[in-house]
Amino acid sequence: MTRILLMGNPNVGKSALFSRLTGVQAMVSNYPGTTISYTRGHMKLGEETAEVIDAPGTYTLEPTSEAEEIARKLLDSGDIVINVVNAINLERNLYLTLQLLERGIPTVVALNLWDDTKHRGVDIDLEKLEKALGVPVIPTVAVTGQGVKELAENIPRATSPPHPPTTRDQRWVTIGKIIEQVQQIRHRHHTWRERLEDASVKPVSGGFIAIAILAASFFVVRFIGEGLINYVLDPLFNTLWAPVLSWLSNLMGGTGFLHDIVIGKLIDGEVDLVQSFGLLSSGLFVPFGMVLPYIISFYFVLGILEDTGYLPRLAVLMDTIMHRLGLHGYAIIPNLLGLGCNVPAILATRILESKRERFIAATLISIAVPCAALQAMIFGLVGARGIGYVAIVYGTLFIVWIILGIILNHTVKGFSPELLIEIPPYRFPPWRTVGQKLWFRTYGFLAEAIPIILGAILVINVLYILGVFDAIANFTAPVVTGLLGLPKEAVTALVIGFLRKDVALGMLAPLALSSGQLVVGSVVLAMLFPCIATFVVMFRELRWLNMLKAVGVMIVAALVTGGILNLIL
């Protein structure tokens, strides 16, 4: 089967074009480095079916990061390249184009963001560009789909004209000559959008904009999340599902092995959706009633932030602080993604250049960045004791994030490179992309979390009945009770935290903890062992040795922080 590769600089719209060509949804955002692995799809190429691969963006074939390395390796396996080029910035984009042509692989150029050229004052002579490069050049607007049909029709025309390998300087000279022939720049005045762009990376105005955007994001996430819980999911569960469970519980006699697994334990003679811990009670209420609303609200807001192009600007503002943590500003993006789910966050550390940065970032994320599922439970359970306690949990995790980062920066060998990123123009978020991404991520949560949640609850009940937890609880009592000040049964939650953090925090609910204990429990749970999915991805990205180091740091940090909190609260 013919294999078509979409190659190009970061953030030129490869993923959007990929979705248009194949109908397969790929994550699209307005910042360089959204695609850190590759996505595969298919399209019709005349009579036959061709495989299409959406590669991570790269500026050159001399890779400077992991994601770029992946792109370069993919190139060896491709038959045809669609080189996606940013029409606004031919000068730099053509560098990769020339490198691709030197490789002698049949290429067709998609001149994307074509609609922007008019109001950005860029005139490109398509015919001359085709002649200069020797390959077909098709103007496209991936977001709207304009030109995509023409591009598909022109794929068979992809050719590999002779471009002998040359030096870096010579390439720039060639590009200079091409630009002189094909491109004209008209002078134009600054628009209000550009003024806003400038203001967001200036020290004072940028700081205010950042605070305003982050505060607004937080309130919108909370508003939508709580709104969904109070007006949709709580009423649904309480009026429709709870009566069914009561009826079923009565039918099953209110107790017994099967009853405990399916319905759970009765709390004061009633089925409790949070505390009962049966498959049909907590097993459904935790993911759908408590976590899902926040997954939806968080990813809705994150999607908008991603698509406007604000995140790279936040990276610029955060750069000085992030340097103290041994990272540079761009590491703020994986950390923010971690507030949704640690798995994609740790994968996203591939946009960082050095192994050292990736180790520090992955360790910090897995320890001090709580995922949306856990946060939803923190809001639900800790928030019921007063918003002040929620603030203590977040404040503690933030302080841990900072202090741990500083420590890692001083102890991990090697050096961290400097920030060097392209900042995309602001764009009004295309609602189609925002909606698709929200669906993509919400579905991903449901598909991955629900089976594990149900499995975890089943395991919990069986282990409980078998008395395994009692044995563990007695064994770990000195640490859990002595150091953390929690009842010894709380260890079951810490163990289950390895499967799912949201379920684990739910397990603290029936223990009648004081508010202080609940805070300690939440913080330790957030910091101690990442859930199994995060564990697997950390292992894959960091390998054994670094993984073990990260786990060591994690255990020490969690116990120290928990112990200190226990003393204070």
Partner 1 sequence: MRRHMHGFGGRFKPEANLVTLAQLKSGQSATVVDIQGGRRMTDRLNALGIIPGKKITKTSAMLMRGPVTIEIDRVEVAIGFGMANKVMVKPDRVP
Close Cβ partners of 36 (under 8 Å, ≥ 6 residues apart): 56, 66, 67, 70, 347, 348, 350, 351
Q: Judged by CB under 8 A, which of 8, 136, 312, 506 binds partner 1? A: 312
Nearer to partner 1, 418 or 448 (CB): 418
CB of 187 to partner 1, least distance (A): 12
Nearer to partner 1, 176 or 227 (CB): 176
CB of 193 to partner 1, least distance (A): 12
Q: Using CB under 8 A, which residues numbered 327 to 346 contact partner 1?
A: 328-329
Decide: 507 and 464 in contact? Cβ < 8 Å.
Answer: no
Q: Judged by CB under 8 A, which of 2, 89, 174, 476 binds partner 1? A: 89
Dist CA 124 CA 118 (whole Å): 10
Nearer to partner 1, 314 or 537 (CB): 314
Specify the DSSP class assigned to residue 81: E
Should residue 423 be labelled a site residue for partner 1 when binding is judged by CB under 8 A? yes
Q: Using CB under 8 A, which residues numbered 177 to 216 contact partner 1?
A: 185, 197-198, 201-203, 206
Lay out the site mask for partner 1 across 97-126 (x = CB under 8 A, - = otherwise): -----------------------x-x----
CB of 419 to partner 1, least distance (A): 4
Q: Position of tokens 């925090």?
A: 505
Specify the DSSP class assigned to residue 470: H
Nearer to partner 1, 162 or 203 (CB): 203
237-245 long-range Cβ contacts below 8 angstroms, 24+ apart: 237/273, 237/285, 237/288, 237/289, 238/273, 241/273, 241/284, 241/285, 242/271, 242/273, 245/271, 245/273, 245/280, 245/281
Q: Using CB under 8 A, which residues numbered 31 to 60 contact partner 1?
A: 59-60
Among candidate residues 293, 298, 290, 297, the one with its CA nearest the CA of residue 503: 290
Decide: 348 and 355 in contact? Cβ < 8 Å.
Answer: no
Nearer to partner 1, 3 or 120 (CB): 120
Should residue 174 be labelled a site residue for partner 1 when binding is judged by CB under 8 A? no
Close Cβ partners of 23 (under 8 Å, ≥ 6 residues apart): 41
Q: Which residues of 338-365 are buried (b: 16+ CB within 10 A; e: fewer)?
A: bbbbbbbbbbbbbbbbbebbbbbbbbbb
Nearer to partner 1, 89 or 515 (CB): 89
Specify the DSSP class assigned to residue 371: -
Lay out the site mask for partner 1 across 399-418 (x = CB under 8 A, - = otherwise): ------------------xx
Should residue 92 be labelled a site residue for partner 1 when binding is judged by CB under 8 A? yes
Residues that bind partner 1 (CB under 8 A): 59-60, 62, 64, 86, 88-92, 95, 120, 122, 168, 172, 185, 197-198, 201-203, 206, 312, 315-317, 319-320, 328-329, 353, 417-425
